[in-house]
Chain A
């Protein structure tokens, strides 16, 4: 295959499908497998760019979440009956805090449940991290419809904010050491906050000036009130879609908030985007193409999701391992095959151009 970068949207759909799949199971082996698959794909298709180095940080963040979740369980969690590992001194809470327990016996069962739930959340975060590392946020930005392009200036500045702030913070840390000031720990952090923010603000202004000098925000001949109306319709449409999706997913919501809202939102969005397209003066340089590898990637992500949904539907054992009595989790065949399928993009997508690999 000719080397090229995959469409950023394809990576995001793939990752979100994988993340949704992770929501369907608390089996630690399956969750671990999902993280592993994400890892393999990231390792194979991550480009050489600052934003692509974030996967590790996301995974580390996930680990912190697991630890915090288990600690919370030890301190406050509800007490599942079972094998008591150790007992913390029990604190009697006043009556208004009924339902919350502090201390008491800690059982192996409760720790396993807490760990699995923490791992589920960590897996979700790892999937988002994978999308972040695989898809260029800058190219994704270009997919923002031009009518909302004013949001773009905020997003662009924000995108450059994090990496540049990291660089600036390193410089200021060095400067503090050169002046013999504390540069580590809480005291160091406090002294650094103001100069770091000051520098970031200055750079953001520079960037905004550079964008403006290069024609960003030219409107062509569309009158201002018409533009505002277009923006409002687009945002309204997007909002309706979000509400609609919640309505569909949440069985308890009134019917009106479900499919009708979703449909109305979709109609609004498509109509406003179509109207905006006729008035916009922006053009697009070498737009990202959507070809077979993009379809394969999306299909691979969806395949994991479908496998898990299907498994849950037909009641394949092992998706949510029982904790009473504690058992070592098993690996059910159908979900495993589905999740492994999500690793296909690691080799079925075009390789990265040499400069980015």
Chain B
């Protein structure tokens, strides 16, 4: 269905190619998963399928990409009836303003007859379970709904190939399951070919029929998931556990792993999982008392009572739109509560001047790049020193501690997601605020970068910072948090030891916990340490 014939692609002015001699074919009806480390060229590979690379990026493409026999020498619009592309950020791709119009947009461009259009819109509304949204304005959709509408908007032109770039990265676990269920259904029932890139392999790897691994040398290796996962540099926890226990064939789903894990469970039943306590639980640094917050006319949070102590790592979980980000905004002084009282270090954050606020609390937003302005890492660091009246070199030293060996002359935009996060974190940490907040820190991070982040967070907690994470990433919670909070319907529904909170929830349980239930183990590292002792 899709063939890459010795494709080498170089971005304009780039010293090295982003894809080197890529040669593989995707068969009809494949659920084809593209994996690789951050910045390895996954997005470039996907965008080459319908010709967005090189038509929208410039650069030179050697070799040939064909879809259904048609070469991508023609611009993307001529392939619109064959390939549907859903980008990383669905809301950025919306052209019209209501769901129904958005679904019809591609068909209008293709000149499909009105009665056929009408029928197909209805079909797609049913297929994706979004009939109730048909007249909604696109701006009012939740991210899960927006993702489904984005998929629908390319499905209506009945393409044979669907290309998706990280379709679940912004979604909570429940919404991600919904989207993936739809994709598998499209492959199984309609024979569609799906090509998908994803960092969170634990969510998708069990559905894949083939895997393409984009390596550090920009070459692509293709194979069956079970074989590829034996030694791939990126692996979900289930595979990591399989490698530790030496299971063969490699299980890819929790179900397969549970079958293989019986002996392991028996061994672990004799050992109690380590208790995870706050590294140095100190005095309370932040307190919310009876806090309510509104966004426009809607109440996002109400009756929130919470206190956070130094040395704690607190994970805040919940559905998209449950109020996680609002909680962080309240703590960081960006939003003032409609009622109740927020204090951080004895002060009311939203009434502090900006210069004083950075010494009390630091927030890294979900797009860390928003915090960076300068043209080089070096000037970013020196400007931060200057602004906060710190000794020259403080921010650089902080950055070295988090991510050593970055070329100080690089532009922050050219860094990988993980490196950019490290730089933003360094800038926020330099004035040494006792409270650090991170909003969705693992978006776009591969497993390596995530492991490093988790080490950094543990160090911060050990040195007396309080860390609050708002995240969908249950594996990150399993790796780092000592305390878990779940927000639903504007209220805190559970607050306790992270181990209890996540293990008792079918939605928020990490893979290792699901495999080893009823024993409460959270990560492969814990299991590995227990087996070694």
Which A residues fall within an 8 A CB radius of B? 47-51, 136, 138-139, 156, 160, 163, 171-172, 174-183, 191, 194-195, 203, 205-218, 220, 280-287, 353-356
Q: Which of B92, B157, B355 contacts A215 (CB 8 A)?
A: B157
| Chain B residues within 8 Å of A205, by CB | 56
Distance in angstroms between the alpha carbons of A51 and B111 in the assembled complex: 28
| Chain A residues within 8 Å of B107, by CB | 283, 285
| Chain A residues within 8 Å of B370, by CB | 171-172, 174-175, 195
B147 CB, min distance to chain A CBs, angstroms? 14
B213 CB, min distance to chain A CBs, angstroms? 26
**B234 interface hit (Cβ, 8 Å):** no
Distance in angstroms between the alpha carbons of A140 and B224 in the assembled complex: 50
**Quick check: A214 and B157 within 8 Å, CB to CB?**
yes
| Chain B residues within 8 Å of A282, by CB | 108-109, 111
**Quick check: A214 and B139 within 8 Å, CB to CB?**
no
**Quick check: B92 and A210 within 8 Å, CB to CB?**
yes
Selected A-B contacts with CB under 8 Å, 19 pairs = A48-B137, A50-B139, A163-B139, A180-B357, A195-B373, A203-B92, A206-B93, A210-B85, A212-B56, A212-B76, A213-B77, A214-B95, A215-B110, A218-B110, A220-B111, A283-B111, A286-B114, A286-B118, A287-B114
**Quick check: A285 and B137 within 8 Å, CB to CB?**
no
Which B residues fall within an 8 A CB radius of A? 50, 52, 55-56, 75-78, 80-81, 83-85, 87, 89, 92-98, 100-101, 104-114, 117-118, 121, 134-137, 139-140, 153-154, 157, 329, 332-334, 354-355, 357-358, 362-363, 365, 367, 370-371, 373, 384, 387-388, 427-428, 431
Distance in angstroms between the alpha carbons of A177 and B75 in the assembled complex: 43
Give 5 closest A-B pairs by Cβ, nearest first.
A215-B80, A285-B104, A281-B111, A210-B93, A215-B109
**Quick check: A283 and B354 within 8 Å, CB to CB?**
no
| Chain A residues within 8 Å of B111, by CB | 218, 220, 280-283
**Quick check: B371 and A285 within 8 Å, CB to CB?**
no
Distance in angstroms between the alpha carbons of A205 and B127 in the assembled complex: 30
Q: A207-B95, A283-B111, A285-B108 are in contact. List 6 more A-B contacts (CB 8 A).
A: A50-B97, A138-B96, A160-B95, A207-B92, A281-B111, A354-B135
Q: Which of B121, B354, B363 contacts A182 (CB 8 A)?
A: B354
Q: Which of B108, B140, B334 contacts A177 (CB 8 A)?
A: B334
**Quick check: B332 and A156 within 8 Å, CB to CB?**
no
Distance in angstroms between the alpha carbons of A286 and B96 in the assembled complex: 14
- Closest B residue to A214 by CB, please name it: B106
**Quick check: B87 and A281 within 8 Å, CB to CB?**
no
Q: Which of B92, B109, B112, B355 contacts A214 (CB 8 A)?
A: B109
Given contact pairs A171-B370, A353-B135, A355-B135, A177 touches B357 in the complex (Cβ within 8 A)? yes
Q: Which of A212, A215, A285 contacts B121 (CB 8 A)?
A: A285
| Chain B residues within 8 Å of A160, by CB | 94-95
**Quick check: A138 and B80 within 8 Å, CB to CB?**
no
**Quick check: A281 and B110 within 8 Å, CB to CB?**
yes
**Quick check: B77 and A218 within 8 Å, CB to CB?**
yes
**Quick check: B387 and A179 within 8 Å, CB to CB?**
yes
**Quick check: B354 and A181 within 8 Å, CB to CB?**
yes
| Chain A residues within 8 Å of B104, by CB | 285-286
Distance in angstroms between the alpha carbons of A41 and B240 in the assembled complex: 63
Distance in angstroms between the alpha carbons of A283 and B145 in the assembled complex: 27
Given contact pairs A175-B371, A285-B118, A180 touches B93 in the complex (Cβ within 8 A)? no
Given contact pairs A180-B358, A182-B354, A214 touches B154 in the complex (Cβ within 8 A)? yes
Given contact pairs A215-B157, A220-B111, A178 touches B371 in the complex (Cβ within 8 A)? yes
Q: Which of A51, A206, A212, A355 contacts B77 (CB 8 A)?
A: A212
Given contact pairs A48-B140, A138-B96, A282-B111, A177 touches B52 in the complex (Cβ within 8 A)? no
B94 CB, min distance to chain A CBs, angstroms? 8
| Chain B residues within 8 Å of A208, by CB | 56
Q: Which of A182, A209, A355 contacts B56 (CB 8 A)?
A: A209
Distance in angstroms between the alpha carbons of A214 and B89 in the assembled complex: 16
| Chain B residues within 8 Å of A176, by CB | 354
- Closest B residue to A156 by CB, please name it: B95
| Chain A residues within 8 Å of B329, by CB | 174
A352 CB, min distance to chain B CBs, angstroms? 9
**Quick check: A136 and B97 within 8 Å, CB to CB?**
yes
B348 CB, min distance to chain A CBs, angstroms? 15
B440 CB, min distance to chain A CBs, angstroms? 14
Q: Which of B93, B333, B371 contacts A207 (CB 8 A)?
A: B93
**Quick check: A217 and B77 within 8 Å, CB to CB?**
yes
Distance in angstroms between the alpha carbons of A181 and B101 in the assembled complex: 42
**Quick check: B87 and A179 within 8 Å, CB to CB?**
no
| Chain A residues within 8 Å of B334, by CB | 174, 177-178
Q: Which of A171, A182, A354 contacts B365 (CB 8 A)?
A: A171
Distance in angstroms between the alpha carbons of A51 and B97 in the assembled complex: 10
**Quick check: B85 and A213 within 8 Å, CB to CB?**
yes
Given contact pairs A174-B365, A206-B92, A283-B114, A212 touches B75 in the complex (Cβ within 8 A)? yes
Distance in angstroms between the alpha carbons of A217 and B114 in the assembled complex: 19
Distance in angstroms between the alpha carbons of A139 and B111 in the assembled complex: 17
- Closest A residue to B163 by CB, please name it: A213
Q: Which of B77, B139, B154 contacts A49 (CB 8 A)?
A: B139
